Structure 1
Amino acid sequence: MWRQPKTVWSVAFACVIAFMGIGLVDPILKPIADDLGASASQVSLLFTSYMAVMGVAMLVTGWVSSRTGAKRTLILGLVVIIIGAGLAGAQDSVGGIVAFRAVWGLGNALFIATALATIVSAARGSVGQAIILYEAALGVGIATGPLLGGWLGGHSWRWPFWGVSALMAIALVAILTTLPATPPSGRRSSISAPLKALSHRGLLTVGITALLYNFGFFTLLAFTPFPLAMGAHEVGLIFFGWGLLLAFTSVVVAPRLQRRFGTLPGVVGALVGFALILAAMAIGTEHKPVLVIGVVLAGAFLGINNTLITETVMKVSPVERGVASAAYSFVRFGGGAIAPWLAGKLGERSIHVPFWVGSGAVLLGVAVLLTARREIMAVDGAHAHDTPEEERPLEAAAVTVGDA
């Protein structure tokens, strides 16, 4: 799995930087609020605008990529991220940051969706192995993002935005120089294809589950820095530990759990474990050690969920992978965009409530997932039919984004 062509490694490197952008913002949420006189709910809109635009954009990434080719779509996404992140750091109001964070979300949708399609198609080995490689890049990016954000944010909350812009410029050079030309595929994807794919029960169920799970995920990500009330360095180190554990379990633990217990028990166990951690954080919100331990341990369950859910989306429906995962991402990100804002709004009333709501939403997601247990359990039967990816054509379409 680790002996891959140069193309795969250059795209994976760019993915690492792209995923840095998720956790990079965490350590500077409170500094932005303090410096610009904003509330927790206002600052959480940095996530909401990012997620909403990304979710809607997932409907058109396949349409764009099938007409321009994977390489051009990757380059376009990187350029948009460079512009969005760079200008976000130059703003003097929360509204301005939120607006350019939305631009950043558009670029991320174009880049990350096409990046996984490229990795899956160009990597040696099975679909599952390619996904693990992708999740490794995701984990490294999410782990190092908060650390870099805390270090740069210690100087100014603007620096992390400019840091992402600079790193993405390096990734752009890597893609330009190592990725061969990828002309448009013969099949052109329609914008309505992802919406039609949602008629498949298994795919829609997984999407709604992820939407509900996002309420817990963004309570952890977007709201926890406020009750922690620590500096950018400290918050960055805490979420660095979270990201490390997420990376380890997504690459090492998740495949083993899947082989031993199956996909459905693995996802259900991960979500229930995450819900229990959020409940513990709701009870002990006023105690910082409880929050710190909860954040770090949550990474273990999130890593397992990320890998298993990603592979499930790739295999649960009969439609093309790109179309299926674009539909899934649209439901998950578009519908879940309210989660960061809601967590901040609830937190202004009581610091305990967001964690309770997040825990309840994750458990509701488990209940929804179990309604399609027959379709989810069928995913495990697909492992026997995995074939080396070099035998498959490039699917220049949107694919799932793990938990970006």
Structure 2
Amino acid sequence: MSISPSPAQPQFTRLVGPLVLISTIFFLNFISRVALGPVLLPLQEDLGISLSRTGLIFLTLQAGYSVALLNAGWVSSRLTHRRTILLSIWAIGAGWICVGLSPSFPVMLACLFATGLGGGLYLPSGVASITDITPSCHWGKGFAIHEMAPSLSFILAPLLVEALLFLGSWRLVYIVLGLSCFVVGAIYRKHSTAGRFSGQPPRLKALRAILTRPAFWAMTLFFVLVVGGEIGVYNLAPAYLVKSHGIPREWANFILSASRLLSLGTAFGAGWCIDKLGLKRSLTVILSAGGLATIGFAWGSSLWVAAMLVLQPIFLVAYFPAGFSALTSISEDKQNDLTVSLTVTSASLLGAGGIPALLAYLGEHVSFSLGFTGLGVCLAASALLVPFLDFRNAAAVQEGQECRHTEGG
């Protein structure tokens, strides 16, 4: 008797195309934000602001991002997830063009907040679209493809910045990215069919159920620290290498880009490891190793620091397939998008906004090494909470689970 995939569990290869299209939206959403790190020193010089004041750039952008994330359920409940994704990418495009044309720092901050509002609408709808078209036994691999977008962004952002700085100023970087968002949004509108359903608006009962769950708070802490470890280190690495190690800016950005090459395949490989090993063991190793590598980045010679800059993102990139799989596993199915919104809201405001701002302040007034060391210690210590996680959606976290096909047609 022949064995064929059931309609509910298609072969994973058939899902790659739709997943790549969704991930392209995420790529543009992400690269425009992480380009702030490589462009930070030219921007600081052009606007005549201090390094600690540049922390307002990260904080303002992520404040808008967090506000939108918190309210994304209301938007997707009225527009559907697909239309919310389209609104997000086009709003991002308009926002970055305005940032590139802004005449002053206060106007730029206002544009950054508006851009963050557009960017924050994407993730809950993106995650909901992925879990809609991907069976739970493939979630690790599905989210791994999605999380290759940040990995590519980290590699390409410094190279894109340097290429466009050669042609013009930092403003050209954001005008080009903004126009790209409009083009990709049009392609997504024409070819994507994912997410043709409405999201769940935040409900007090569902909100209370999530907020009273200890696993939610543990996962939120993990996301805050990992996002801070990844984006905070990335955004401040050029300034750290230039100011503390005397490396020219162009070389600092080249090192930053090269340091992310090994982590490019990490997310996809991590997807299979997570599906085989289980979430708890994966999370423990990732958090511990990522924390130790962050501490190592804070101390030593330029060669040692460069080596740690290569090692650290390998572990932290591997976290996200596990983290999103765990998020979908600590709540009921109808609460997934709200759980993602609440968790990533905190991670965006505190991890991608607050931690880089704090690192910038410490880098100017105390030392970069102190900031990176404290962050690494917190990351490693957070692994002690993993054994206490309570997964409710067991189908997503069974260790060694395989996708089974039904007999017949």
TM-score of the pair, normalised by structure 2: 0.84
* 2:122 partner amino acid: F
Q: Would you say 1:41 and 2:52 are equivalent positions?
A: yes
**How many angstroms apart in 1 are the aligned matches of 2:376 and 2:367?**
15
Contact 1:41–1:344 (CA under 8 A) maintained in structure 2: yes
Q: 1:239 aligns with which of 245, 253, 256?
A: 256
* 1:100 partner amino acid: C
**How many angstroms apart in 2 are the aligned matches of 1:99 and 1:262?**
43
Indicate the structure (1 or 2) with the bigger Cα radius of gyration.
Answer: 2
Q: 2:323 aligns with which of 286, 292, 309?
A: 309
Contact 1:264–1:376 (CA under 8 A) maintained in structure 2: no
After TM superposition, list the pairs within 5 Å mapping 1:377-388 onto structure 2: 380-381=397-398, 384=401
Tell me the SS of whatever aligns to 2:57.
helix
Contact 1:245–1:303 (CA under 8 A) maintained in structure 2: no
Q: 1:189 aligns with which of 185, 189, 201?
A: 201
Cα shift readout 1:199-221 (whole Å, capped 9, x = no counterpart): 22212211122223344334412
Once the two structures are TM-superposed, the CA of residue 7 in structure 1 deviates from its matched residue by 4.5
Once the two structures are TM-superposed, the CA of residue 21 in structure 1 deviates from its matched residue by 1.7
After TM superposition, list the pairs within 5 Å mapping 1:135-174 onto structure 2: 135-154=147-166, 155-174=168-187
Contact 1:145–1:240 (CA under 8 A) maintained in structure 2: yes
Contact 1:223–1:344 (CA under 8 A) maintained in structure 2: yes
- Report what 1:328 is aligned to: 343
- Report what 1:401 is aligned to: none
Cα shift readout 1:39-84 (whole Å, capped 9, x = no counterpart): 2221132222222222232121112101111222112111210121
Once the two structures are TM-superposed, the CA of residue 181 in structure 1 deviates from its matched residue by 8.9
Contact 1:248–1:303 (CA under 8 A) maintained in structure 2: no
Cα shift readout 1:10-40 (whole Å, capped 9, x = no counterpart): 3232222222223322211111112222222
Contact 1:135–1:307 (CA under 8 A) maintained in structure 2: yes
**How many angstroms apart in 2 are the aligned matches of 1:20 and 1:82?**
12
**How many angstroms apart in 1 are the aligned matches of 2:46 and 2:148?**
35
What root-mean-square deviation, in Å, do the aligned CA atoms of Structure 1 and Structure 2 show?
Answer: 2.8
Q: 2:310 aligns with which of 281, 296, 309?
A: 296
- Report what 2:216 is aligned to: 203
**270 and 126 in structure 1: CA distance in 2 versus 1, 3 angstrom threshold:** closer
Contact 1:82–1:165 (CA under 8 A) maintained in structure 2: yes
- Report what 2:238 is aligned to: 225
Contact 1:315–1:382 (CA under 8 A) maintained in structure 2: no
Contact 2:34–2:235 (CA under 8 A) maintained in structure 1: no
**How many angstroms apart in 1 are the aligned matches of 2:358 and 2:262?**
27
- Report what 1:396 is aligned to: none
- Report what 1:357 is aligned to: 374
Moved more, 306-315 or 119-128: 119-128
TM-score of the pair, normalised by structure 1: 0.85
Contact 2:292–2:376 (CA under 8 A) maintained in structure 1: yes
Moved more, 59-68 or 378-387: 378-387
**184 and 48 in structure 1: CA distance in 2 versus 1, 3 angstrom threshold:** same
Identity of aligned residues (%): 21
Once the two structures are TM-superposed, the CA of residue 356 in structure 1 deviates from its matched residue by 1.6
- Report what 1:391 is aligned to: none
**How many angstroms apart in 2 are the aligned matches of 1:71 and 1:136?**
21
Once the two structures are TM-superposed, the CA of residue 87 in structure 1 deviates from its matched residue by 1.0
**How many angstroms apart in 1 are the aligned matches of 2:399 and 2:345?**
24
* 1:269 partner amino acid: V
Q: 1:269 aligns with which of 282, 285, 296?
A: 285
* Count of equivalent residues: 383
Contact 1:58–1:109 (CA under 8 A) maintained in structure 2: yes
**How many angstroms apart in 2 are the aligned matches of 1:140 and 1:191?**
36
**373 and 29 in structure 1: CA distance in 2 versus 1, 3 angstrom threshold:** same
Which runs of no fewer than 5 residues in structure 2 stay unpaired? 1-11
**153 and 290 in structure 1: CA distance in 2 versus 1, 3 angstrom threshold:** farther
- Report what 1:393 is aligned to: none
**How many angstroms apart in 2 are the aligned matches of 1:29 and 1:57?**
25
After TM superposition, list the pairs within 5 Å mapping 1:172-183 onto structure 2: 172-180=185-193
Once the two structures are TM-superposed, the CA of residue 269 in structure 1 deviates from its matched residue by 1.6
Contact 2:19–2:145 (CA under 8 A) maintained in structure 1: no
**111 and 291 in structure 1: CA distance in 2 versus 1, 3 angstrom threshold:** same
Contact 1:219–1:358 (CA under 8 A) maintained in structure 2: no
Once the two structures are TM-superposed, the CA of residue 355 in structure 1 deviates from its matched residue by 1.2
- Report what 1:69 is aligned to: 80
Contact 1:197–1:327 (CA under 8 A) maintained in structure 2: no
* 1:108 partner amino acid: G
- Report what 1:283 is aligned to: 299
Once the two structures are TM-superposed, the CA of residue 338 in structure 1 deviates from its matched residue by 1.5
